[in-house]
Structure 1
């Protein structure tokens, strides 16, 4: 907390303000603060003779100064952020409200009002351009100014609320402060417009102001970096305003009628909650106060909403190992992937079903409607003739008024009702009776016994929890990248074209768009924001806020990947570059005195070909055994890591920027560095023939390759050689090469094999299969993929991996034992028991009965045994499938470690683990280096590392950024695979079935070393047998033709679709081999 000492100036007064805060025990406390109202608050206007302005961003008093009300700011934030408009004054009261109202909007407003580099708060970096830093947005501290402060008015009966009074007071004071100022209020509020008129203050809507601006001459002289105002831009941001203007215009009556119909069609489908003929599709969300109360009473659970298959299945994770299953659109209740939600536990009859019944799929609105109708027909058919007989004997009037309890059937009826299809009473009766026959009931009360025993059960023994979303605590994000498509729909027997947005992420539902599909949006990658999702709409309603570029373009698709995974691509700021040493920097003399000198020790690095950011190098020394028991070792191996913390000082601008980026992002065609290139490719990179500063782990081995001694030191090295993996392997394999380098590489290889075997015996998993691919391009032209081939993994890959793992294990133990509170560790929870059980069931169908998985040691031995059978395809598939069963490895702070199980890394069979070996590309490694500096009294650790709030925030950001970087890399591989297939043409190829779900099969393509999904539809004759986990193919007479099971060989048609959002390859089933 910051305390400000205020001098007692004449004329000042103070008031009391209060607010309510939820404490750690979920209790509401009333907080009272005394606020001093000052008379010397700066106006924020450049060249003001009265005020002392120390702000970096000041308004231009010679131009019109705009003051926007709250609703305008919220509604048009994207326009203000993206387009060429500025000189805007933001009242602090409005700024603070947006800060608490919406994090996404607040980040944008903050970037407009302040330089990002001024902030020291750990938050995700935004991708704002330098253009926004040149805009003039200024926050006026009206709540602390004596002349503009407005007290709360509890007796406000006229609807003229506090915010509107504040705006009027600010304008009046500014005019009194400087009568030459031209101030305009921007608002759609009729009361504010009327009051401005009474006080002789210019006031208009933002749309009216922009139209005036376009007609003026001043606009043509504006900054060219922003978007110019034209009709295409206005349609994107002012769709509703344009329609209203057309509606009022008699000259364009015909056009307005067309536009109005389009707009009202969307509203009729989504927004019009007053339509008495509609039935809600969802339950209303709880209010914030109700959610707080129910959280306190443990009636609802807070967790992260994770979609498995959109509109069908989701999980809500509320601890490391505990989660709740959410089934069906109704129970998902408008939650979107990664939202923080409130969930109520319910009873679920189908507990024997697997939690992941579907492959990730996103179907169009047209296909969804067809699928729903098809499911209704099938379900009714299954009830049989008994249904029809019993319907005739039932009271139809009673059936009409009865409430349909079944979630899936009710949802189907709502869809039919909304689109005015199949509304006859007989079908409704049949659905009702079907529900009754299935005896499906849903209890809305909380199952207290399940909830109270959540943390007392072992993961393999837990009963699945089922729930429904009752509220949204916070939305994850509101902007998505993708493509807009047209779909036809029958509304009142009139065929209408509706626009839907398909997101890059298949876990995001289709979004209805309030715009017309014109050339500027057709076949373009766009950014869309969600405006609303009410209880009457199957899909959320949104609008397009920007266009990235043409589909199928490398630059555009790369932008889309960056947007989807929230990766900042902005240039490093001037303040960051000021932290760098000069290009001709040399190691200072004092470092030679303080560090261990390894310049004359044989040292080399082994990396992928063309690697420039070399983090690590190995040194080898052959020592003579001197008979001393305490020094009974003959090999000394140094693992030397770039000393990045020497250049990146704590709390410097470059440190703050790195703490936000967290990791370097590698795509096929480019990379986004965590640090400037002067460090990553030069001063920190352990390049051949250059002296470099390192943080080193020195390991001493005896003749049996057992570790005798470990030490951590600051060193100076000079690498003798930079090898690629292939080059180093060739040296090892060349028996005629008896040089010191060759002998050292062979020794390292033997030690690495010894370490890997020891760890494998302990239960470490070797999951690297032959599924990684390598691209070859023509003359470094990424648009011309020449070849796609499997990535070759040499023994030298495993050699480097082994020594990096050894260093990370050793450093983890040191920092945890010596400074637990500040340590940053890497943990890997055990896999989900039910997923491994499902895999075991699959393997039994192909006569593999020796697959055990109770412990990591059992699982490791099972994988190794299958490797020994020389079935390379099965071995690769098994490794891929076991990897999918794994939980995600995460960073964790020492503060949050309560037992040894929380330290363990399952996949590596390590009792404790951290990241130490890649500080050039990972911020977590820099943090670990600083902890070592503190332990060895080299540099004192900043006190923020002892702040649990800071540490948890930073660790959470590390996990988020590291995960996003990994997903972005995969998306890049998928896109370039698509480009390669597009170049060579559609292919017919062989594949192996690796998994079966209700809506399709997962396949492994033997010739292309990659995975894919082949969707199988009921309408094409494919029926899923859930008990036997197989698909049955039937003909039109319902005769069985063949069945598809795990590990069956099939033939598929691999093709590309230019207009698919991810530009991925599609697979169509041809035949079983």
Structure 2
């Protein structure tokens, strides 16, 4: 049956055109009920005996409305909810309102065990309805749901065994109309109540029960239209809110003000106005009298929250009154740090970044007797300290104590101090290694589910028995006779690169980098490709690896193992003796690696003059060329920055950390890195030539001068200048920043310089101007990632673009040329890459806690950051950092039990913490803590008592200063040069939770992307 609707409309050009819309109606759309004999199904999804409950004792099918899925998707995902009819009307509305929820709903529908059936009511002859005059689209859709429910009820009423149909809606008016039409209708809460399942009841999203609505705490958010007009006029500024790691009452956005990019600070609960870290917000600047010279730099806990808020308010009032808040004994001289920094307040939310959060229940909020099942309101602490406490309602409070749980935010009304959410599920016992690993994967949005059967079905049917066949040589060069070898960390199984060198008759060298040809197995657009694009990167944890591709490819068919033939994508140069490129070309190839070496094995071959085989001779030549390539990069201004150099040794059976060892870097680490960098640069130029508007490239923005201000001031007292005007001047400054009697100083300076860098990013060439392409850290105009397609999806895309660039016969679709899609993909990959790094660091932190559990260690460290009430210390031996509070709290094991009292105060002029005794002019404080200072600390694990203490709900690495005590605090002296020199011989660079690290883009040492402080089941990072 065909229905037509005709109307006319006016185009932008002023022409009037007739539009005809055709709508096909059918009478052969089946109900999918297993017991139905009328429809003539070829496949059924709704079972013949659906479930029952106390409210509906007859077996029944459920027909939810749109808002049930939008507001209660967590409940609908649970296996207790089955035999659901998803109307086409509802599905389309969900897609329009929320794509993430739509995707989750499609995933449920795709699981046949859940018995969810999509019924095309908009194309069924008996369920399609026209919109009535003056009827709103929402009312029309509600009516369509009722009509479809009535049809289903009539259709299945004579089935045997007997079943009924229940419409589920939280709209009271819709329920009343349904009941007036003799339909069964129920709210989701009443339906879940009838299931007698406390966990499902806790998952109900109902903000009204948690919001007392008595007092307005926050300002009202402005409307989207008001925000849009304000941003266009320049009254408001848009940006992504970032909450301070150490102080959740302080945030900032990075935005453009008067044509110049800069940071706006937002300080205090009222000014933050219900934002959550990652929200896109609109900010209004405060009067200049309320601007700050620096961020607060205060570390606070929940217990200190009220005191800190009062302090912030007092400080703002004092600033508004132009009162002098400087230290009474501080110098009145000005500096760069005295320049007021813009401060603002949030006036509206443009886009929320709410997600599910992992954490634990605050024991103090449980005030019912053990065993009680009465619903109570509790507070939830997220593991991420940037997230505010969340209030939710539960009937399982006592059983959830000591557990890691997941909670989702539903709303944050003006009358609620904290956001309101609902319980999702438990993960397991706090402190359990597998539970904590799942927590960190969920918290960092790392996909870690098993590969689906559909994805695995796309692997070669031969499995591990797959071999190169004669037809694979079509379009490829045969390099099997070359002395190709790979050099990797010990235990590496995903070998995605190999090298060779051949002397040429003219005295030059042919050098080849051979990369696993992943795209031969992963075809564009198929399910495996989609899964790899979604994962974005392989994630390396301390004790395991979350692969981007199925193991058959990553560790076997695409791994360039020795003595087996493998498909590759090769970059071939002709280099002269000075390592200058004479010519470069690219080709698909077949190789047979002659040796799979570790860095140590390759180094031993170089050093042992008795070894004169062809592979060893080739490695020696490559090593000499690599040194020349590195020198050229350094001469051009490439930076050499410090990187983590420690790893855990794990117990074989339990995988518990038993020791920490320093990682020794060899020449062969740099050998591989130099040729990977050269390949990436060469490929970047080639794909940009072919795809000037859509090439996937990688840039590293120039860091703003403001990033270096504190560092410049800190080193000036040593007579050292840091010139960051270009990467070359910065590199020279770092090379010259040497204190002869303090050998570790230069490495520490490079570590801290790393923190001044910007993040390296993937980008689409059509979205930036050519000058913005430049990679600051590598000092190159073009760069991309080509050399690790087994573990980075960016490299997969670059392989496809390179193949299209070198072979005119290759057909390719819009995925390589669509600028918007490529830009969107770059955003996804940047997010996945960033989350992978953070997950790896969290894994290191977890194993650090396991290593120090029940231990108390004393070690030397260096002050790397000064805060107003604390300072951060780096302990090189363990590659860890910790906060030391400027208080009189004694370390564990001491006899001093007095309550902590601040005894050091922050001096903004010197960016230091110093004792408060009265000083004459020119006199040095008895105690002064500054950047680069060396201290002795005690390291232990501090269990967070707010979570209950047992096992520590939010365990923290605790650092305390050791004796001798000086007025309640102890220091090891102000940079004792003899001690520094003695210690520096064994010191190594630390793990850096905030560093840029260039993601393997060319720092001086070999890095694994995403947490190279660990020994793990996998791979180094390559450039």
TM-score surpassing 0.5? yes
Q: Cα–Cα, structure 1 residues 52 and 439, in superposed 2: closer, same or farther, change >3 Å?
A: farther
CA offset at residue 1013 of structure 1? 2.4
Name the structure 1 match of 2:301.
363
1:939 counterpart SS class: coil
Name the structure 2 match of 1:329.
269
8 Å CA contact 2:498, 2:560 repeated in 1 = yes
2:278 counterpart SS class: coil
Q: Cα–Cα, structure 1 residues 806 and 580, in superposed 2: closer, same or farther, change >3 Å?
A: same
Name the structure 2 match of 1:859.
730
8 Å CA contact 1:690, 1:719 repeated in 2 = yes
CA offset at residue 756 of structure 1? 1.0
2:911 to 1022, 1025, 1029: 1029
CA offset at residue 105 of structure 1? 3.0
CA offset at residue 951 of structure 1? 1.4
Q: Cα–Cα, structure 1 residues 673 and 708, in superposed 2: closer, same or farther, change >3 Å?
A: same
Alignment partner of 1:475 is 2:348: no
Matches within 5 A, 1:433-448: 436=321, 438=323
1:787 to 659, 675, 682: 659
Q: Cα–Cα, structure 1 residues 894 and 907, in superposed 2: closer, same or farther, change >3 Å?
A: same
Q: Which has the higher helix share?
A: 1
Name the structure 1 match of 2:942.
1057
1:761 counterpart SS class: helix
Alignment partner of 1:1069 is 2:961: yes
CA offset at residue 1036 of structure 1? 13
Which shifted more, 907-916 or 706-715?
A: 706-715
Taking the aligned partners of 2:496 and 2:599, their CA distance within structure 1 comes to 15
Matches within 5 A, 1:755-904: 755-769=629-643, 771-782=644-655, 784-845=656-717, 847-866=718-737, 869=740, 871-898=742-769, 900-904=770-774
Name the structure 1 match of 2:120.
141
Taking the aligned partners of 1:331 and 1:869, their CA distance within structure 2 comes to 49
8 Å CA contact 1:88, 1:138 repeated in 2 = yes
CA offset at residue 161 of structure 1? 4.0
Matches within 5 A, 1:421-820: 436=321, 438=323, 466-487=343-364, 499-515=378-394, 518-581=397-460, 582-583=462-463, 584-592=465-473, 594-625=475-506, 633-769=507-643, 771-782=644-655, 784-820=656-692
8 Å CA contact 2:70, 2:98 repeated in 1 = no
8 Å CA contact 1:460, 1:834 repeated in 2 = no
1:514 counterpart SS class: strand
8 Å CA contact 2:392, 2:423 repeated in 1 = yes
Which shifted more, 320-329 or 466-475?
A: 320-329
CA RMSD of aligned residues (A): 3.5
Q: CA deviation digits over 1:705-748, x for unaligned, max 9?
A: 22222111212111111111122122222233333333222221
Taking the aligned partners of 2:183 and 2:290, their CA distance within structure 1 comes to 65
Taking the aligned partners of 1:1036 and 1:195, their CA distance within structure 2 comes to 80
8 Å CA contact 1:43, 1:174 repeated in 2 = no
8 Å CA contact 1:104, 1:477 repeated in 2 = no
Name the structure 2 match of 1:1011.
881
Segments of 5+ residues of structure 2 without an aligned counterpart are 13-17, 51-59, 326-335, 368-375, 888-899, 945-951, 963-969, 973-1023
Q: Cα–Cα, structure 1 residues 463 and 644, in superposed 2: closer, same or farther, change >3 Å?
A: farther
CA offset at residue 804 of structure 1? 0.3
8 Å CA contact 1:831, 1:887 repeated in 2 = yes
Taking the aligned partners of 2:386 and 2:814, their CA distance within structure 1 comes to 41
CA offset at residue 564 of structure 1? 0.8
2:747 counterpart SS class: helix
CA offset at residue 886 of structure 1? 0.8
CA offset at residue 235 of structure 1? 5.1
CA offset at residue 466 of structure 1? 4.2
2:472 counterpart SS class: helix
1:876 counterpart SS class: helix
CA offset at residue 624 of structure 1? 2.9
Q: Cα–Cα, structure 1 residues 870 and 828, in superposed 2: closer, same or farther, change >3 Å?
A: farther
CA offset at residue 832 of structure 1? 2.4
1:650 counterpart SS class: coil
Name the structure 2 match of 1:291.
227
2:863 to 989, 993, 996: 993
Q: Cα–Cα, structure 1 residues 49 and 153, in superposed 2: closer, same or farther, change >3 Å?
A: same
TM-score if structure 1 supplies the norm length? 0.78
8 Å CA contact 1:45, 1:61 repeated in 2 = no
Which shifted more, 669-678 or 162-171?
A: 162-171
8 Å CA contact 1:86, 1:135 repeated in 2 = yes
Q: Cα–Cα, structure 1 residues 96 and 1053, in superposed 2: closer, same or farther, change >3 Å?
A: farther
CA offset at residue 163 of structure 1? 4.5
Taking the aligned partners of 2:19 and 2:212, their CA distance within structure 1 comes to 42
Q: Cα–Cα, structure 1 residues 234 and 813, in superposed 2: closer, same or farther, change >3 Å?
A: closer
1:80 to 68, 76, 81: 76
Taking the aligned partners of 2:338 and 2:936, their CA distance within structure 1 comes to 40
Which shifted more, 698-707 or 133-142?
A: 133-142
Taking the aligned partners of 1:854 and 1:720, their CA distance within structure 2 comes to 46
Q: Cα–Cα, structure 1 residues 111 and 318, in superposed 2: closer, same or farther, change >3 Å?
A: farther
Taking the aligned partners of 2:925 and 2:657, their CA distance within structure 1 comes to 43
Q: Cα–Cα, structure 1 residues 949 and 179, in superposed 2: closer, same or farther, change >3 Å?
A: farther
CA offset at residue 358 of structure 1? 2.6
Q: Cα–Cα, structure 1 residues 462 and 1051, in superposed 2: closer, same or farther, change >3 Å?
A: closer
1:530 counterpart SS class: strand
Q: Cα–Cα, structure 1 residues 766 and 511, in superposed 2: closer, same or farther, change >3 Å?
A: same
Taking the aligned partners of 2:377 and 2:172, their CA distance within structure 1 comes to 33
CA offset at residue 598 of structure 1? 1.7
CA offset at residue 460 of structure 1? 14
Count matched residues: 898
CA offset at residue 34 of structure 1? 4.2
Taking the aligned partners of 1:854 and 1:1001, their CA distance within structure 2 comes to 29
CA offset at residue 834 of structure 1? 0.9
Q: CA deviation digits over 1:1031-1072, x for unaligned, max 9?
A: 123489999752211122222221113445564412233421
Q: Cα–Cα, structure 1 residues 890 and 460, in superposed 2: closer, same or farther, change >3 Å?
A: farther
Taking the aligned partners of 2:8 and 2:399, their CA distance within structure 1 comes to 50
2:191 to 204, 209, 218: 209
Segments of 5+ residues of structure 1 without an aligned counterpart are 1-8, 24-30, 116-131, 215-228, 242-262, 380-405, 410-432, 441-458, 491-496, 626-632
Greater RCO, 1 or 2 (C-alpha within 8 Å, sep 6+): 2
Alignment partner of 1:58 is 2:58: no
Taking the aligned partners of 1:177 and 1:102, their CA distance within structure 2 comes to 32
1:283 counterpart SS class: coil
CA offset at residue 300 of structure 1? 3.5
CA offset at residue 213 of structure 1? 4.5
CA offset at residue 210 of structure 1? 3.9
Taking the aligned partners of 1:639 and 1:833, their CA distance within structure 2 comes to 38
Q: Cα–Cα, structure 1 residues 89 and 819, in superposed 2: closer, same or farther, change >3 Å?
A: same
Q: Cα–Cα, structure 1 residues 1041 and 658, in superposed 2: closer, same or farther, change >3 Å?
A: same
Name the structure 1 match of 2:56.
none
Q: Cα–Cα, structure 1 residues 15 and 312, in superposed 2: closer, same or farther, change >3 Å?
A: farther
Q: Cα–Cα, structure 1 residues 988 and 866, in superposed 2: closer, same or farther, change >3 Å?
A: same
2:786 to 899, 916, 929: 916
Q: Cα–Cα, structure 1 residues 350 and 709, in superposed 2: closer, same or farther, change >3 Å?
A: farther
Name the structure 2 match of 1:453.
none
8 Å CA contact 1:111, 1:133 repeated in 2 = no
Taking the aligned partners of 1:835 and 1:727, their CA distance within structure 2 comes to 41
Q: CA deviation digits over 1:779-834, x for unaligned, max 9?
A: 2531x312112222221111111110000001101111222123100001011211
2:439 counterpart SS class: helix
Taking the aligned partners of 1:301 and 1:686, their CA distance within structure 2 comes to 51
8 Å CA contact 1:503, 1:1061 repeated in 2 = no
CA offset at residue 885 of structure 1? 0.8
Q: CA deviation digits over 1:292-337, x for unaligned, max 9?
A: 4445555444332222355433232347955543333222221211
8 Å CA contact 1:752, 1:802 repeated in 2 = yes
Taking the aligned partners of 1:41 and 1:862, their CA distance within structure 2 comes to 78
Name the structure 1 match of 2:203.
237
